Structure 1
């Protein structure tokens, strides 16, 4: 009986997951040495491979570059026709070949040997041409490919990509690559938006719906209407003492206009710091089902951020 597509998928995922667990348990002996060498590298990490390994090389180079380790992918075929000039003696080269005998890598191997450029091999075969030529070997487990023929690059490419991720993250953490560094390399898209600080988009000064504690609710309603955030901040000598929301208005409908802002407001309201991330502001709003947060610095009101600001920034 023929396996269903779901059965096949589970077999593939189980095969690859088993191989990843094996890689984690038997991490290449040279891994720490490779990280140490790349941390002090004056140039870039050049990553290359042929076929599917080439696609993985592109991904590894991109991940390294985006996490603080200058890197570039070079196609081995193009390298043999002039692009070897992109590789300098300040660089290190990572070559990927499951068999370790990929013919197209021969010129890059020879170039690294000739100019004493550090060569790091990622391969399954420790006695292969690539492994023997390398200064450091990151050996992959001898795990079966996940396709029925045991031929298509599946498990091997998954292992290589995961090993590249492990290398990039280890380098990232040892470099002290923090959120601000990440933001500098990812200014666009959702990632860039999530790494923006609250201070970058918050409303300030005259835009804020501020009332004093003794402000009559009639005047407070006017301020709330004019500013358009659906809330009012109750402030005494610059310090945020309370917030009035639509919910507070509904709870105090009886005799509302005869009260003051302080009598209606929710005391000790939730707020966020100006240097908090927009993603943190969104998490706070979602957790407490609120549409706006006051921004305070040591208790002093400095701004307001609304859910619409997060939507415009591309976070929500």
Structure 2
């Protein structure tokens, strides 16, 4: 490719990214300096949190595409939401909106004609409206319960026409509302897992006990057992380790291949497990994320972890191969 053409392409890409970054910086600065904008964000979060119904998101054109993403983000983080196309709403889908719901309207100009029927319907049936616009004097902003007014930033388009920076700011607002609601509700990683059971994200949200072996599969011996039994357990159970439990059933030690090598002698099999075991074994709790268990294994260069309950009693065993098979990495 011609060097001049390549330079022009890269210059265009750089301008677009810089313009988008400037737009986000402008939004952050307004949020820092303008009391009205801060209040509108707080009011919007509180309003959504107070409703018993769902959040209905609507927009036309590029705002519609952003609206679909905002609805999806809200739904996946604990706030029931869905997108309604304004044109379809005018042809019957207004019936999807109930008095318990809340409507979020996206319109950079605040004068989008296609949103008019949804706004009228919401006003008629007392459905709260949150608008995201750059024009505080627009019809939509003036008729909203809460109007989030964004700074008027230049588009990355050289003609100032294609929605680029403006769409990014709308998306940022949607993400900000979703995250604020997530934190306000105390939405946990376990809650997140409920809505994301599939794919790479689902595997990262698996809990350690869901992948662990339990019952008779766990290699355990009581204190006082001979090492001959430990070697049998290590070989037959296939984990290369054996856990040692005390009189109360708590895990007091672990014997690994390394412990065998360190104590290798002709009398090894005559020793008792407590003379060979490593004290203070590395363990995890049942509620730990599988991804956290993987990180622990990698950082400490180990391949097996025992799971314990609140009383330090072993309830399972997890091998790195179990994590890899489940796609946790």
TM over 0.5: yes
Gap runs ≥5 in structure 2: 32-36
Deviation at 1:198, TM superposition (A): 2.4
Structure 1: distance between partners of 2:226 and 2:159: 79
Alignment partner, residue 59 of structure 1? 69
Q: How does 1:16-31 map to 2 (within 5 A)?
A: 16-27=20-31, 28=37, 29-31=39-41
Task: Single out whichever of 167-176 and 287-296 deviates more from structure 2.
Answer: 167-176
Q: How does 1:180-191 map to 2 (within 5 A)?
A: 180-191=190-201
Alignment partner, residue 50 of structure 1? 60
Alignment partner, residue 282 of structure 1? 294
Alignment partner, residue 100 of structure 1? 110
Structure 2: distance between partners of 1:114 and 1:295: 57
Deviation at 1:246, TM superposition (A): 2.4
Q: In structure 2, the residue corresponding to 1:30 is in which secondary structure? A: helix
In the alignment, structure 1 residue 264 sits paired with structure 2 residue 276: yes
Structure 2: distance between partners of 1:202 and 1:65: 30
Gap runs ≥5 in structure 1: none
Q: In structure 1, the residue corresponding to 2:245 is in which secondary structure? A: strand
Q: In structure 2, the residue corresponding to 1:247 is in which secondary structure? A: helix
Structure 2: distance between partners of 1:274 and 1:247: 26
Structure 2: distance between partners of 1:251 and 1:151: 73
Q: In structure 1, the residue corresponding to 2:315 is in which secondary structure? A: strand
Alignment partner, residue 34 of structure 2? none
The 3 A distance-change label for structure 1 pair 231 and 84 is same
Q: How does 1:223-238 map to 2 (within 5 A)?
A: 223-237=233-247, 238=249
Deviation at 1:102, TM superposition (A): 2.0
Give the counterpart of 2:205 among 170, 195, 201. 195
Alignment partner, residue 239 of structure 1? 250
Q: How does 1:54-203 map to 2 (within 5 A)?
A: 54-203=64-213
Deviation at 1:258, TM superposition (A): 5.0
Q: In structure 2, the residue corresponding to 1:294 is in which secondary structure? A: strand
The 3 A distance-change label for structure 1 pair 199 and 117 is same
In the alignment, structure 1 residue 308 sits paired with structure 2 residue 318: no
Q: Deviations over 1:131-169 (max 9, x none)?
A: 222222111111111233332221111111110011111
Deviation at 1:112, TM superposition (A): 1.8
Deviation at 1:293, TM superposition (A): 0.3
